[in-house]
Amino acid sequence: MLTGARTARRVHLSVVTYSYNDHGLVRELLRSVGGWSVVPRELIVVDDGSETPFPQAEAAADIRLSFLSRKGGQPDAPEKADTQEKADAPESAQEAGHVRAADKAVPLRVISLGQNCGPTGAKQSGISAAASRFVLSMDSDTRLEADWLEYCLPLAAQEDTGMVSTPVDYRSGDGSTGTLTNEYMRLTYSFAPVRGDVPMIPGPAFLMRKAVFDAVGGFAGYGERLGQDRFLCERLTAAGYRLRITDASRAWQMRRLSRTTAVRRGMVWQANTFLEQIEAGVPFGEIAQVFLYSVGTRPCARMVQAPGLVYHDMLYAVYGLMRFAARYEGAQQVMAAFLRGYLRDCSALLGVLTDDLNELDTPLPEGQAAEGVTFPAFTGLFPPPVCAAMDAVCAQGALHGAGPEDFSMYRHMGT
């Protein structure tokens, strides 16, 4: 049992996060640092060309209050598995020992970029500016368990290790629609609770030594706005560094994404490969077949859980097909005619699908239902009984509206 003012260990660590009109989420993140069992040396916010400048003075006051609130006796956190990983990361004699967190609120720096550079540019600017031995990069909608750093710092301190993280869950959404979208995101994108060496660590939260980031060149030379986490992981692996996951603690993303933005987000990540093939002259039929194959067996597997989850996959599949079809003369009209014909007996499902596609700025062209036009790869993923089950869910209003949402960059950056 802790007694008196709660204490925390200060380490040579910079925490870097990013805001593009996400100031509320960033301020919540900064306040959460006051509850960590490890105190960083500095907090850095990269304001990536927000319409309104990040409020540094107010955020600094938030941080101070969060540290002053750490008082009173509280029980120790429950013991976790593999506690041999929970050891002090090396630090100088001046840093050793415990400090009263209430007396050591962390200083805040704000780096304001003149224009929106996207996640790659923001992360390159923020991590490069870090002045500590360790750097923790966190997206503004990511949160950590209080002891996350206790487990990750010892691993990051090892000379052969380039990057460390933990599994990342999705805990966003409210109401029936939001909860369903949250479950879709968790099933589709959550980093599996693995342990040990991995080929890639996703970008929401990663810890590394600043010297390693500098040694491999960070994100320098990478011109895309997204995908920088994969690029950096590949660069670290090529340099001989290990990428390591510990499941002794957890992180999670708490931004609320609407159903349409969740689908748009997935397409942002996947579309480039198909667009390159389209530019190379690959016919639409081949593009459609490979894309639908990439959706895999998810719809059939999810029917056991909920037809609403399958609807998310259908929306993703149709949205992708319509986006790719736009590159071919007349292909969107063919796709729209096929869907109207295939779903003629599922009017509620077709109505929700049409509304969502309108929200995604990819409306179905006007026209009649086509006879004899079929896409076997699509009908194999979404056979008539599955469509009927989704139609019943839509008719009950369970998928009415796309659900609640916080601001998301995926609505504004295009795909």
Last residue of a domain, one of 253, 273, 306: 253
What's this model's pTM, rounded to 2 decimal places? 0.75
Residue 3 lies in a domain: no
Order of strands, edge to edge, in the sheet holding 142-144?
142-144, 251-253, 168-170
User: Quick one: pLDDT at residue 104?
Assistant: 59
Rounded to whole angstroms, the Cα distance separating 126 from 191 reads 24
User: Quick one: pLDDT at residue 102?
Assistant: 40
**228 plus 305 within the same structural domain:** no
Q: What angle do CA 411, 27, 227 make, to 5 degrees?
A: 40
**42 plus 80 within the same structural domain:** yes
- Low-confidence residues of the chain: pLDDT under 50: 1-6, 72-103, 414-415
- Report the C-alpha dihedral over residues 65, 105, 212, 96, rounded to 10 degrees: -130
User: Quick one: pLDDT at residue 27?
Assistant: 95
**240 plus 278 within the same structural domain:** no
**13 plus 104 within the same structural domain:** yes
User: Quick one: pLDDT at residue 370?
Assistant: 62
**247 plus 266 within the same structural domain:** no
User: Quick one: pLDDT at residue 258?
Assistant: 84
Domains identified in the chain, total number: 2
- Are 181 and 173 spatial neighbours (Cβ–Cβ below 8 Å)? yes
β-pair partners for 253: 142, 170
Residue 328 lies in a domain: yes
**242 plus 329 within the same structural domain:** no
Residue 37 lies in a domain: yes
**242 plus 355 within the same structural domain:** no
Rounded to whole angstroms, the Cα distance separating 116 from 414 reads 14
**274 plus 330 within the same structural domain:** yes
Residue 140 lies in a domain: yes
- Side-chain-side CA neighbours of residue 311 (13 Å): 30
Residue 187 lies in a domain: no
**218 plus 103 within the same structural domain:** yes
**377 plus 395 within the same structural domain:** yes
Domain of 322, in residue numbers = 259-411
**80 plus 200 within the same structural domain:** yes
**236 plus 89 within the same structural domain:** yes
